[in-house]
């Protein structure tokens, strides 16, 4: 009798549980965050699920960024897409038709709270993990970080030294990665009020006076720069300062500590205006996902953009808050107080711009890299390199 009752209770419980599970919406979220970033993701989803017990987030790690991109491509072609995933800007155009425009789901106030440089045409995605270009400098070589282009140039000259007189420089003023990081040049372009394309993408503006001046300044650094494809912190102490992504601070600091040096960050030197370049990924939702998953995904997106949550994500990962409210959140203010190296990033974030979401931006970036390399390695004059880049980018305007 007792056993029979137990069996009946178990069956009823299982039956009841099936309704609970069936009533729960599961969001499939593809990502590429591993180790310490993954723990932070799990914490955020735990908090969200506590507030929304009818929604479950299923995190699916896809490996490297290139593996994730290929997974997204395959999923779109096979029409077996997840609910949401992260994207770099230039991944978006080939799959734009498969994404849900998010503008109608956000209020004007919510949109206005997003850092201005992170908003895209049609709002197909919202920003998530972002970093910004800042100035790294070795305190032992640079007492006061430069605040203008002129000061930056002068410090580069001063810090390019041959200490042992063997005809080989032992230290350079700065480090430039023209092929891997044309964003260093794009920061200068933006600071000089220059642009690559017009706002409607119909014209290439790179070749105008602002672009020429920015490239001339960039080229003037060549004799005082370690031009390389290596990561600039791979040979710490070889450069006195460098423009690099804020997300690399962990590696810069670790390298500096190992060499007995002190690395600090500062806002980028100012040209005509203060500006910097923001990099990182966004989150998009696929429109072919079931409606209940889309609704749940929208809720989760808004949760991630809440000031304390974007601030928490940034504080734990080394990225930056993607909303103005996040930059003012208590958790981020605490992070600024305890980790002063992030102050430079916070200062620059509202002034940052992102890469274009033009469908051929990947090829345009390649043209910019080639231009930067030709100038840095002395293979072309500034005018010729600029003209070549403009011609190539003009051929990429149509898509």
* 228 forms part of the interface with other proteins (CB under 8 A): yes
Tell me which residues in 172-201 interact with other proteins (CB under 8 A): 179-180
Binding segment (CB under 8 A) for other proteins, from list 48-56, 223-231, 302-310, 312-320: 223-231
Q: How far is the CB of 58 from other proteins (least distance, A)?
A: 24
The answer to whether residues 45 and 55 touch, using CB atoms and an 8 Å cutoff, is: no
- Pick from 127, 373, 382, 386 the residue near other proteins by CB under 8 A: 373
Among the listed residues 21, 28, 383, 6, the one whose alpha carbon sits nearest the alpha carbon of residue 213: 383
Nearer Cβ to other proteins (44/372): 372
In three-state secondary structure terms, 118 is helix
Q: Which residues, including other chains, have CB under 8 Å from residue 392's CB and lie 6 or more apart? A: 363, 364, 367, 370
Nearer Cβ to other proteins (43/229): 229
* 101 forms part of the interface with other proteins (CB under 8 A): no
Q: Which residues, including other chains, have CB under 8 Å from residue 337's CB and lie 6 or more apart? A: none
* 366 forms part of the interface with other proteins (CB under 8 A): yes
Compute the distance between CA of residue 144 and CA of residue 72 in angstroms, rounded to an integer: 46
* 365 forms part of the interface with other proteins (CB under 8 A): yes
Compute how many residues bind other proteins; rule: CB under 8 A: 34
**Angle 267-336-31 from CA coordinates, rounded to 5°:** 85
Compute the distance between CA of residue 312 and CA of residue 43 in angstroms, rounded to an integer: 10
Binding segment (CB under 8 A) for other proteins, from list 1-9, 12-20, 91-99, 130-138: 91-99
Binding segment (CB under 8 A) for other proteins, from list 190-198, 202-210, 311-319, 353-361: 353-361
* 168 forms part of the interface with other proteins (CB under 8 A): yes
Compute the distance between CA of residue 366 and CA of residue 230 in angstroms, rounded to an integer: 18
Determine phi and psi for 220, rounding to 5 degrees. -65, -20
In three-state secondary structure terms, 71 is helix
Binding segment (CB under 8 A) for other proteins, from list 107-115, 190-198, 343-351, 354-362: 354-362
Binding segment (CB under 8 A) for other proteins, from list 28-36, 133-141, 230-238, 273-281: 230-238
Q: Which residues, including other chains, have CB under 8 Å from residue 227's CB and lie 6 or more apart? A: 175, 176, 177, 178, 376, 377
Compute the distance between CA of residue 289 and CA of residue 296 in angstroms, rounded to an integer: 11
* 147 forms part of the interface with other proteins (CB under 8 A): no
* 3 forms part of the interface with other proteins (CB under 8 A): no
Nearer Cβ to other proteins (143/163): 163
Could you say which DSSP state residue 169 is in?
-
Q: How far is the CB of 167 from other proteins (least distance, A)?
A: 8
Nearer Cβ to other proteins (268/375): 375
Q: Distance between the two ends of the chain, CA-based, in angstroms? A: 75
* 76 forms part of the interface with other proteins (CB under 8 A): yes
Nearer Cβ to other proteins (46/64): 64
Q: How far is the CB of 353 from other proteins (least distance, A)?
A: 20
The answer to whether residues 126 and 305 touch, using CB atoms and an 8 Å cutoff, is: yes
Q: How far is the CB of 394 from other proteins (least distance, A)?
A: 15
Could you say which DSSP state residue 288 is in?
T
Please report, as ranges, the residues that interact with other proteins according to CB under 8 A.
Answer: 66, 69-70, 73, 76-77, 90, 94-98, 167-168, 179-180, 227-230, 235, 238, 359-363, 365-366, 370, 373-374, 377, 379
């Amino acid at each position: 009798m007792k056993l029979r009752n137990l069996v009946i209770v178990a069956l009823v419980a299982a039956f009841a549980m099936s309704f609970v599970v069936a009533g729960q919406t599961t969001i499939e979220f593809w990502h590429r965050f591993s180790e310490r970033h993954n723990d932070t993701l799990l914490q955020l989803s735990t908090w969200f699920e506590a507030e929304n017990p009818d929604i479950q987030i299923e995190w699916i790690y896809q490996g490297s960024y290139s593996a994730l991109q290929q997974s997204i491509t395959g999923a779109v072609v096979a029409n077996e897409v997840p609910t949401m995933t992260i994207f770099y800007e230039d991944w978006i155009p080939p799959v734009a038709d498969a994404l849900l425009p998010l503008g109608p789901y956000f209020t004007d106030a919510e949109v206005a709270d997003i850092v201005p440089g992170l908003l895209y045409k049609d709002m197909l995605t919202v920003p998530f993990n972002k970093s910004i270009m800042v100035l790294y400098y070795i305190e032992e070589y640079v007492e006061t970080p430069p605040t203008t282009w002129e000061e930056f140039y002068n410090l580069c000259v001063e810090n390019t030294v041959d200490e042992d007189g063997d005809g080989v420089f032992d230290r350079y003023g700065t480090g430039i990665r023209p092929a891997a990081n044309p964003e260093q040049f794009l920061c200068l372009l933006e600071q000089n009020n220059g642009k690559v394309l017009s706002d409607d993408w119909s014209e290439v503006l790179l070749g105008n006076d602002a672009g020429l001046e920015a490239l001339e300044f960039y080229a003037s650094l060549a004799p005082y720069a370690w031009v390389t494809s290596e990561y600039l912190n791979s040979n710490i102490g070889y450069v006195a300062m460098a423009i690099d992504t804020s997300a690399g601070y962990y590696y810069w600091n670790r390298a500096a500590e190992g060499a007995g040096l002190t690395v600090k960050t500062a806002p980028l030197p100012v040209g005509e205006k203060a500006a910097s370049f923001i990099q990182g990924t966004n989150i998009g939702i696929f429109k072919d996902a079931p409606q209940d998953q889309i609704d749940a995904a929208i809720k989760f997106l808004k949760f991630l953009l809440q000031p304390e949550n974007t601030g928490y994500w940034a504080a734990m990962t080394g990225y930056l808050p993607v909303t103005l409210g996040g930059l003012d959140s208590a958790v981020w203010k605490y992070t600024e107080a305890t980790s002063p190296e992030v102050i430079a990033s916070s200062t620059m974030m509202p002034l940052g711009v992102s890469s274009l979401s033009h469908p051929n931006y990947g090829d345009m970036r390649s043209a910019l890299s080639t231009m930067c390399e030709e100038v840095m390695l002395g293979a072309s004059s500034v005018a010729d390199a600029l003209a070549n880049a403009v011609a190539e980018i003009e051929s990429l305007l149509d898509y």
